[in-house]
Amino acid sequence: MSSTPAIAVTMGDGAGVGPEVVVAALLDEEITRNSRPVVVGDAGRLRQAAQVLGVEADIVPIGSVAEFQPGRINVVDLGLLPEDLPWGKLSPVAGDAAYHYVRVASEMAMRGEVQAICTAPLNKEALHLGGHVYPGHTELLADLTGTPEVSMMLSTPTLKVIHVTTHIGLLDAIAKIEPGLVERTIRRGHAALVAAGNANPRIGVCAINPHAGEGGLFGYGEEAEKISPAVEAVWADGIDARGPLAADTLFFLAARGDYDLVVAMYHDQGHGPVKVLGIEAGVNITVGLPVIRTSVDHGTAFDIAGTGTVDTRSMVEAMRQAIEVAPRPDVD
């Protein structure tokens, strides 16, 4: 057995840019040298993606990871997409197929056939139209792997952010935040950074209100009620977590290196600063699953799908981070 990790690469929504970014990433020499990537998707759509990108790619269907061979794009071909599927159009067929790519990849991971999963973007509306009502990849993977609670972490070369809540409305997010959830999120983030080689990460925890509530001037005491008890609990266990801190100042301090991880309370609080850095820099990591999972930090980009103009750097970076944090298989 090779000592390089096997990585299941899900193709995402076939009507979006997923097929294009997958082909580009799997032609990257660093990726192919350091891993054994196997696409779970549709070989025909990948060939169409190679054509629109204007690249030569040997795309070969295989039955299992054991049939992997270097020098080509190996595909567990589910054959779920029609040949004439239009680019850039919402499709329940593509949404259903995207679900099954993730399902099969999860099954491969749970059987130990792959050491990580790297996902191309799916479209949430298409996923729902296809009969699979999940807020996104994170919740779908949690359900498929039987994991009761996970966290979304966004990682860039200069900033890492883990979220207490993600794909729910702002009022619902504030209602959901409570000390236990905040504490578990801090602990998951701490464990992820320790596993990646940072023995004592410095963690900054965002407040909910401007200026961390300004001593009760803003909000209704959410910081004292929902966040401070969690920070105190993890601090007592030796985790270097500080907060609640004003989010605007915290992100500035973290970006200059004062903190290794920021704990954001809700989706846009964490996503906004990361996206300012550029979508090519951000990688989505699901923390708490029984398998490593990374993803691009952008959507299906229907407006440019099938044009060959998509920026593929985020998918390449997602693959690199999957390789970096995936466990190495035992060598026979």
For residue 332, name the pLDDT band (cuts at 50, 70, 90).
Answer: very low
Position of tokens 């909000």? 219
Three-state secondary-structure class, residue 131: coil
For residue 309, name the pLDDT band (cuts at 50, 70, 90).
Answer: very high
Greatest alpha-carbon pair distance for the chain in Å reads 63
Smallest Cα–Cα separation from 267: which of 146, 135, 145?
A: 135
For residue 192, name the pLDDT band (cuts at 50, 70, 90).
Answer: confident
pLDDT attached to residue 151: 92
Question: What are the percentages of helix, strand and coil residues in the chain, rounded to 5?
Answer: 40, 15, 40
**Token pair of 304 as six digits:** 């440019």
Q: What percent of the chain has pLDDT over 70?
A: 97
pLDDT attached to residue 264: 98
pLDDT attached to residue 279: 59
**CA pair distance 278, 114, nearest whole angstrom:** 30
- Exposed/middle/buried for residue 269 (C-beta within 10 Å: 0-12, 13-18, 19+): buried
Least confident range from 34-43, 93-102, 173-182, 195-204: namely: 195-204
pLDDT attached to residue 167: 86
Top-level class of domain 159-276: alpha beta
Count of all residues that appear for the chain in the document = 332
For residue 283, name the pLDDT band (cuts at 50, 70, 90).
Answer: confident
Query: DSSP label at 54?
Result: T
- Exposed/middle/buried for residue 1 (C-beta within 10 Å: 0-12, 13-18, 19+): exposed
Q: What are phi and psi of 89, to 5 degrees?
A: -120, 135
pTM: 0.81
Whether pLDDT at 125 is above 50: yes
**CA pair distance 158, 213, nearest whole angstrom:** 27
Q: CATH number of the domain at 1-148+288-332, out of 1.10.10.10, 3.40.718.10, 3.90.550.10, 3.30.70.2190?
A: 3.40.718.10
**CA pair distance 301, 287, nearest whole angstrom:** 25
**Token pair of 21 as six digits:** 């970014």
Range list for CATH 3.40.718.10 in the chain? 1-148+288-332, 159-276
Three-state secondary-structure class, residue 10: strand
**CA pair distance 282, 157, nearest whole angstrom:** 8
Three-state secondary-structure class, residue 76: strand
Across 12-35, average pLDDT: 96
